[in-house]
Amino acid sequence: MHSRRAPPAALGGPPVRGPQDAPALAARPAALTRLTLEETLPPPTHGRGLAPPYTPTAGAERWDLRLARTLLEHTGLPDLDADSSASTGYGVGADFWRVQVIWMQNGSLTLPRAGTAARRRWDEALDGIQDALGSTQFTALRRNRYCVSAAAVVPEEPQCTARLRRVGPLDAPRNEVSFDGYGTAAAFGTVVLASHGPSPTSTLIVTDAEGAEVGRGYDSYQIAVESLAHHYGLPMPLALVDEGRGK
């Protein structure tokens, strides 16, 4: 069994684009139903036969973004992703392996003039966001004129266990991935080496249970499987068990 704390580069898998500018925020989709972090994380007995309270969903929001949202709920500030008609509030996105929270007022990311009431509200909003993320669950906070970003603290113990099992012909490397505590209908995928044997042009391609491509170009099975876990919203770090070829 291979278990390690995922390095920062692994935490994000493929970069997830956050709300980088006002047009991107303005074009956000309709509000989605969101679960709290407690509702989505597996219980401590994960992998021991008990059904977790969360059913993984393809394309789910990453675990550290959900954690940030849970903390930000206590600020009382508007969540732009929860109200598609709002023009003032925060947007949560990913900056590679970091979480970034962008503040926008009246549909603008432009910093109001110093000494105005609008500037005071702007600064108070960023103060609230910074205080919410400045908990023991986030570290390395950074702040600029319109954004606060931080990195989620990753537990030492694995929060998710994946199993890699080789299937198919020997000359066409293909692996099925399942996650302990979750049925294959909930979270499942494949990792395929896109050449016959390792070579400079070999690349790992990850697909989910529906056959949709999650990503490609990974340089290790650990990182490839972590990207699949992120795709389903499962928590990090991930322990990977290579079961080899089935009988």
HSE, CB side, 13 Å, CA atoms: give it for residue 12: 16
242 sits in which H/E element? strand 238-245
175 Ramachandran zone, left/alpha/beta (phi>0; psi -120 to 50): beta
pLDDT at 194: 81
Q: Is the pTM of this model over 0.85?
A: no
Q: Which residue ranges of the chain lie beneath pLDDT 50? A: 1-52
pLDDT in tens, 113-151: 999 999 999 999 999 999 999 978 999 999 999 999 999
The distance of Cα 29 from the centroid of its chain, to the nearest Å, equals 18
The letter for the amino acid at 137 is: Q
pLDDT at position 200 = 57
- State the angle between helix axes of 63-72 and 117-133 in degrees (0 to 180), rounded to the nearest 10: 120
- The predicted pLDDT at position 53 comes to 58
Per DSSP, which regions of 96-212 are E strands?
Answer: 98-104, 138-143, 147-152, 160-167, 174-179, 188-193, 204-208
